[in-house]
């Protein structure tokens, strides 16, 4: 019995080590691996990243502590590591399992292009379109406007830069492709997967 308990304990310890070693984020070139100072700026200025301070330095480094506010790109082990902020969903509406944020905070990076503009300003901005969101659904967080969807209605015409919660607010225009690079996963509904290249337009 003692041997069996010891074996189970050893297996559990090995599992914990494997858990930490295998944490990863796919397609996130903005937040994952970023140092705290930069992560804080990206969080305060644009809301695209967040720092999970609760864990301190994991495995002697901080490369796993800065994640996207929508948790996209995190693999199951990384998603579990940030369980206070993220959760693993077996089906997020697109038939795929992926990591999603517990609180949906719609953001766009960079925000100054379209996001936050009202109808008049949006109409005058090249590359933007106004897709009216009258009211934010339950589960969404928007400290600047409460449940008012007006400041998340102006979006890039090619949907580029919208995080998952923002992308999901515009189902007639945009679609989240979970099989894509997290930084470019929001794309026009009529866009074929792979049509957009990093840094390109739509």
pLDDT single digits (tens) 11-69: 333 333 333 446 788 888 889 888 889 999 999 888 899 998 766 555 545 678 899 99
Q: Give the predicted TM-score (pTM) of the model.
A: 0.75
> What's the whole-number mean pLDDT along residues 160-179?
90
pLDDT single digits (tens) 54-105: 665 555 456 788 999 999 989 898 898 888 899 998 766 666 788 999 989 9
How far apart CA 94 and CA 177 sit, in angstroms, is: 8
Residues in CB range of 199: below 8 A, 6 or more apart: none
pLDDT band, residue 113 (cuts 50/70/90)? confident
Supply the pLDDT for residue 57. Answer: 52
Query: Cβ–Cβ contacts within 10 Å for residue 87, how many?
Result: 14
pLDDT band, residue 169 (cuts 50/70/90)? very high
Q: What is the 3-state secondary structure (H, E, C) of 37-54?
A: HHHHHHHHHHCCEEECHH
> What's the whole-number mean pLDDT along residues 172-183?
84
pLDDT single digits (tens) 132-167: 998 888 888 865 555 678 889 999 999 998 999 999
First to last CA, the chain: 63
Task: State yes or no: cis peptide before 49, omega within 30 of 0.
Answer: no
Output DSSP code: residue 192: P
Task: State yes or no: cis peptide before 98, omega within 30 of 0.
Answer: no
């Amino acid at each position: 019995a003692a041997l069996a308990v010891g074996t189970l304990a050893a297996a559990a310890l090995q599992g914990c080590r494997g858990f930490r070693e295998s944490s990863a984020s796919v397609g996130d070139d903005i937040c994952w691996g970023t140092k705290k100072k930069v992560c804080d700026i990206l969080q305060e200025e644009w809301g695209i990243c967040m720092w999970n301070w609760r864990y301190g330095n994991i495995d002697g480094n901080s490369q796993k502590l800065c994640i996207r506010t929508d948790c996209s790109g995190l693999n199951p082990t990384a998603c579990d590591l940030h369980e206070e902020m993220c959760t693993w969903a077996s089906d997020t509406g697109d038939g795929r399992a992926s990591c999603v944020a517990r609180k949906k905070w719609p953001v766009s990076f960079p925000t100054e292009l379209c996001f936050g503009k009202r109808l008049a300003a949006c109409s005058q901005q090249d590359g933007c379109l106004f897709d009216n969101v009258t009211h934010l659904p339950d589960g969404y967080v928007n400290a600047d406007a409460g449940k008012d969807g007006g400041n998340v209605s102006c979006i890039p015409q090619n949907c580029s830069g919208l995080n998952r919660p923002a992308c999901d607010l515009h189902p007639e225009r945009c679609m989240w492709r979970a099989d894509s690079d997290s930084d470019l996963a929001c794309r026009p509904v009529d866009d074929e997967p792979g049509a957009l290249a990093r840094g390109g337009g739509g």
